[in-house]
Amino acid sequence: MASKPRRRSGTLLNLTPLIDLVFLLLIYFMLTSHFVEEESIAIELPKAESSASAEEDGFVEILASPEGKLLLNGAEIAPEGLETALRAALTAPEKHSVRLRGDRGTRLGLAVQVIDAARKTGSRSLDILTEPP
């Protein structure tokens, strides 16, 4: 008795539409997503022998460059508008202190202006960040 060879069904799964869909979704997400690059200032922190660790959260950070630029939580502000912007930033419920991250070459007058603004706005504390020894 001779057995008949089984016939395979001629249906194959066509992956071309699936691959097209994946590439279309990839192109869509690449075109619609935007990458925000935070503005920052390259600073070199001063060194201090008697540095202590600061709180990890609940602070507003101010960066000061030697050129006189100020960044409040990553957004550039004018030194004249520092007090107003700092007051608005400290109204957030979890924000209560100020951190000053300044370059070694930052003018003393700019640092004093930040300290004065922090006192006027009622921050609980002011930390001046330094490089650990």
Domain positions in the chain: 59-128
Question: Is the pTM value of this prediction over 0.75?
Answer: no
The CATH-assigned architecture of domain 59-128 is: 2-Layer Sandwich (3.30)
Share of the chain above pLDDT 90, in %: 10
Terminal Cα distance for the chain, rounded? 92
For 114, how many CA atoms within 13 A lie in the half-sphere containing its CB?
28
pLDDT at position 8:
67
Q: Is the dihedral of CA 102, 100, 84, 76 positive or negative?
A: positive
Confidence of residue 18 (pLDDT cuts 50, 70, 90): very high
Determine the Cα–Cα distance for residues 43 and 61; give it in Å rounded to an integer: 14
Confidence of residue 94 (pLDDT cuts 50, 70, 90): confident
The predicted model gives 8-31 an average pLDDT of 87
Residue type, 44: E
Instruction: Specify burial of residue 6 (Cβ count, 10 A radius: 0-12, 13-18, 19+).
Output: exposed
**Per-residue pLDDT at 127 exceeds 60:** yes
Give the containing element (helix H, strand E) for 30.
helix 16-32
Q: Give the pair of three-digit tokens for residue 73.
A: 């939580």
Q: Give the pair of three-digit tokens for residue 45.
A: 């922190």
pLDDT at position 24:
95
| Mean pLDDT score across all residues of the chain | 82
Determine the Cα–Cα distance for residues 67 and 50; give it in Å rounded to an integer: 27
pLDDT at position 58:
78
Contact 39, 76 (CB under 8 A): yes
pLDDT at position 130:
80
pLDDT digits (tens, 9 = 90+) for 31-67: 888 776 555 666 777 777 766 666 667 788 888 888 8
